[in-house]
Amino acid sequence: MKEFLKKDLTLKIFSIIFAIFLWFAINPVQTEHYTVPLNVINEESLKSQGLVLNSKNFNKYVVVDVRDKGDVLDNIKDTDFEVTLDLSKVKSVNDKVIALEPPVYLGRERINPKNIELKQKTITLDLARIEENPFIVQVETLGKLPAGYEIISKTAQPDTVSIQDIDTVIASVGSVKAFVDVTGLDRNLEIRKECKVYDKKGVEMPGLGKKLNVDIKIEVGKRVPVIPITQGIPAENYLEGEYSVKPDSILVTGDPDIMEKVNEVKTVPINIEKADKTLNTQVLLQIPNGLKLVSSTREVSVEVKIIPLDVKTYKFEPRDMTLEGTINDNTLAYEIIEPVSVTLKGKKEDMANVTVNSLLAKVDVSGLKDGEHRIPLQVTLPPNITQSGETKVLVKITKVPAEENQNVQQDTR
């Protein structure tokens, strides 16, 4: 009996071992791979560190290996695991390799944690610093103003804008500009404009300019010449010459309707009465109501040249003078008795080419009877030449005897 029990126990042990072996043969222990989406948390903590993910091109999935029996593995899904990337571990821009949290199994199967292995244990991040810098807004104008108009000032409010981005982007910013079309603009303008951001090579960076708005104010004026006004007559034998003004033009601004009509600004009158030398003086401007000067005083420096005239006397012989208004029936004889002198004056350059032969001198004897007459000499003068006083010519008119007149008439037949 005892031997039978001993044999039966041995048989049972072998049976159990065989059963276990058979079970492992049918349901062996093996390793399965699961692709698990990466759970990224605490991304906002980067901002508190002044950091940002420059790129999110790191792996979004990781592989989890599980070693267990086949029937257990068959009941496990990818979504039964959670693998976390905790960005709060990042403390500086140099913390680029971050360890992943150990995989957490969320399923129902009983798995020994030691049998769960994460193949990729770290993630390499592309980090950048967040910077915010102020940039001056440059106001640029496009188009052409009307003739004579100029831009006095162009300002932006605020005059600087802040741009926040990663450090490499901020370092590449070259300028911030706001553009305004001023074609035909003849008055001040206030307008709101969106800024454009350009890199150091002048290439626009479209993403940075959005929501960067400024109020632009453009002030325009009109440049007009200064015209000196004189009153009075220079001293005898002197002539008012050219003038010069410093500045010779001024910039005015104000009421656009008045500004449009103003094409010059005059000085108050400058007295040149009996002046015998060039005048240099400070004189006030007559600024129209509704306008004001831009960046200049109301006084200008004016030089008025007073030119001494060239005075010459010309002697006209009887042959140099022409009689007009004579009676052509040969009943009267006309004779200029003596030469006369004519005094002319003018600028030296105008007088240079004046000669007796270049002048037309005539005496009008219309309606005069016989006798001696002193008649004004009429001289046709070149431009800018004047005659000093009046010159009279002695003309003798005599009757021709009837017999002599008859002979003259016969000779002319």
The string of pLDDT tens digits covering residues 25-42 is 555 889 899 999 999 999
Per DSSP, which regions of 257-357 are E strands? 265-266, 270-271, 279-284, 291-293, 299-308, 310-316, 321-324, 332-336, 340-346
pLDDT (tens digit, 9 = 90+) per residue, 145-192? 999 999 999 999 999 999 999 898 999 999 999 999 999 999 999 999
d(CA 341, CA 45): 111
Given a cut of 90, whether residue 373 has pLDDT beyond it is yes
Residue 5 has a pLDDT of 47
Residue 226 has a pLDDT of 97
Residue 11 has a pLDDT of 61
Question: Which of 22-31, 340-349, 401-410 has the weakest average pLDDT?
Answer: 401-410
| Domains along the chain with CATH numbers | 2-124 (2.170.120.30), 130-221 (2.170.120.40), 228-308 (2.170.120.40), 311-411 (2.170.120.30)
**Mean per-residue pLDDT, 349-376:** 94
**Mean per-residue pLDDT, 54-75:** 89
**Mean per-residue pLDDT, 343-359:** 93
**Mean per-residue pLDDT, 233-262:** 94
pLDDT (tens digit, 9 = 90+) per residue, 222-245? 999 999 999 999 998 999 999 999
Averaged confidence pLDDT in the chain = 90
pLDDT confidence of 204, banded at 50, 70, 90? very high
Given a cut of 90, whether residue 286 has pLDDT beyond it is yes
pLDDT confidence of 371, banded at 50, 70, 90? very high
Peptide bond into 376 cis (omega under 30): no
d(CA 381, CA 346): 11
What's the token pair of residue 28?
A: 């062996």
